[in-house]
Amino acid sequence: MLALPRYPPRPTIKRLPERKRMTAIVGLHCTDGVLLLADTEETISQETKSECDKISVLGLPHGRMLLGGAGTTHFIEYAEQMIERDFLKSARTWPEILVDINALYSRINRDTQGFYKGFAKELVPAGIELLTAVNSSGRTVLYRWQNDSVIETNPRRHESVGCGVYQTHALLGDINLRLGAEGMLFYGVRIMKQAKRGIVGVGGKTEAIILHHNGEIGIFSTGVTSQIEELIAEIDAFTHRSFLSLIADVYSKDEEFENLLSQVADRIRGYRKRYKENRHR
């Protein structure tokens, strides 16, 4: 006779496909505001993915915000609704804004993650990370929402959240200058291109939006960023093939070197001209 199991087997719980933003969000300080960039790929399941906009523009009673999020999609959407409803309802100083934004993030985490307290780890959806640019009183500040707290980022540094954050942070660390948004766009698109090539879950096109210090929004179309990516690919290939070899070749005659150097200078002028044209299309 077969022995019955002492305890009934645990039933298998099947979860519906969960939309996740396995993404890279990059924030760059510019002389005229804060520029956010993100990829447009969204993971629906292990077998399927789609494209979506990941940077939202929020109009607030006493300010404006750009918001880019990584993590469970419906949690990010909930955060957007909470921020639009409750944030900057009255005029605030910047220290007060930091206190308010931390209290709001704690409430968002409690409302989204608190429901799953006591659940098995594999049943708990991923939390969220946000990168936001907040404009108020003629100034735009970049904030990182991560690990249950919000911090104001150093205006001399750039930030990122999401997949492959160690890779994107390293790339951002190489940028030691600040230009206007149209100049910083080049660096942002280059980082996003490298992230899409090397980080699983980051893909699609690149969207880029600037929140100026005067509160105005500037949107660079995905067509513009795609053309810049193509230009960057050509520049990178040229740098490795021609520019570096020109430096390393110490055996060529001085006249040949000067001739090749002149050709390189002409090529660089051409790249600059094409970038100036592409960034407005």
Tell me if 83 is assigned to some domain: yes
Would residue 118 count as lying in a domain? yes
Residues 96 and 230 grouped into a single domain: no
259-274: pLDDT as tens digits: 888 888 888 899 899 9
Percent of the chain at pLDDT exceeding 90: 58
If asked whether residues 157 and 61 sit together in one domain, one would say: yes
Question: Does one domain contain both 163 and 261?
Answer: no
Q: Which domain holds residue 260?
A: 225-278
On whether both 182 and 238 belong to a single domain, the answer is no
**What confidence tens digit (pLDDT) does each residue in 79-96 have?**
999 999 999 999 999 999
Convert the pLDDT of each residue in 46-56 to its tens digit: 556 677 889 99
Same domain, residue pair 189 and 247 = no
Residue 5 lies in a domain: no
250 in the same domain as 117: no
**192 shares a domain with 81:** yes
pTM recorded for the entire structure: 0.86
CA 146/CA 159 separation, integer angstroms:
12
Burial class (CB in 10 A: 0-12, 13-18, 19+), 22: buried
Give yes or no: residues 158 and 259 share one domain: no
pLDDT of residue 41: 85
Number of domains in the chain: 2
Q: What is the DSSP letter of 115?
A: G
